[in-house]
Amino acid sequence: MLADNTAESHNGVKRPATATGGRYKVLADKYEGKRFNSPNDVIVGPDGAIYFTDPTLYLVKGEKQEISFQGVNRLDEKRAVRLVTRDLTQPNGPAFSPDGKHFYVDDSQEKNIRVYDVTPVGNLANGRIFGDEKGEPHDGVPNGIKVDEQGDLFVTGAQGIWVWDAQGHHLGTIVMPEQPTNLAWGDKDYHTLYITATTSVYCLRTKVREFVPYSVHRRRHH
């Protein structure tokens, strides 16, 4: 379920409050009449549509899987849901390149990152492996992705945060005291990387800053 709410849906998706009293509005909860698996990560695309991954990672024990695959979906302003890929085993964190021409998504089960070309109508094409993040069985898996202004990717993975350039070269790994799960740049200058881990939240000042689409738009028009 994707919703605007202050409450938590049965699949664990949370959205900012838009009404008092904990009321929420369901934006989408089914694909072709079947309930989503467990919608996980969400990102707004360059076309203004919402793209979200739908793995089975967070299905409640005993809960029936109604959709036979784990996909990536696109939700437009009319609340129409379109499946854009079903290539992945367990799709997780999504991200767009700064120019909006490429879409990245983790596969937590396969422990890799895939990249797709974005078509003018918001479909995904030419899917291929961007990079592998293999490690020991308990070293963690690809989960959260963020992109900086240069187009480099920061991806949680085995033992830390893997940094990739836009061509798929592994530049290095930021080794963490605990296994990280997700990450986001923050502060007014977007130079502080906040990282959720097993039991803690860490922050790290970086020389690079997050690619922030709305700030680019603002700079172009002021």
Domain spans in the chain, listed from the N-terminal domain onward: 2-220
Q: pTM score, two decimals?
A: 0.86
52's CB contacts (< 8 A; 6+ apart) are: 2, 39, 40, 41, 42, 43, 72, 73, 75, 94
Query: DSSP class of residue 220?
Result: H
Distance CA(215)–CA(113), nearest Å, equals 27
Geometric angle at alpha carbon 145, from 144 and 150, rounded to 5°? 160
Q: Which CATH number fits domain 2-220: 2.60.40.3880, 1.10.150.20, 2.120.10.30, 3.30.70.1450?
A: 2.120.10.30
User: Strand pairing partners for 97?
Assistant: none
Question: Worst-scoring range by mean pLDDT, 8-17, 151-160, 211-220?
Answer: 8-17
What local confidence, expressed as pLDDT, does residue 7 receive? 38
Question: Worst-scoring range by mean pLDDT, 56-70, 108-122, 193-207?
Answer: 56-70
| pLDDT over 80 at 215, yes or no | no
Tell me the average pLDDT across 91-119.
Answer: 96
> What are the tens digits of pLDDT across the range 61-80?
888 999 999 999 999 999 99
CA distances from 134 to 55, 108, 112, 127, 150 (A): 20, 10, 7, 20, 25
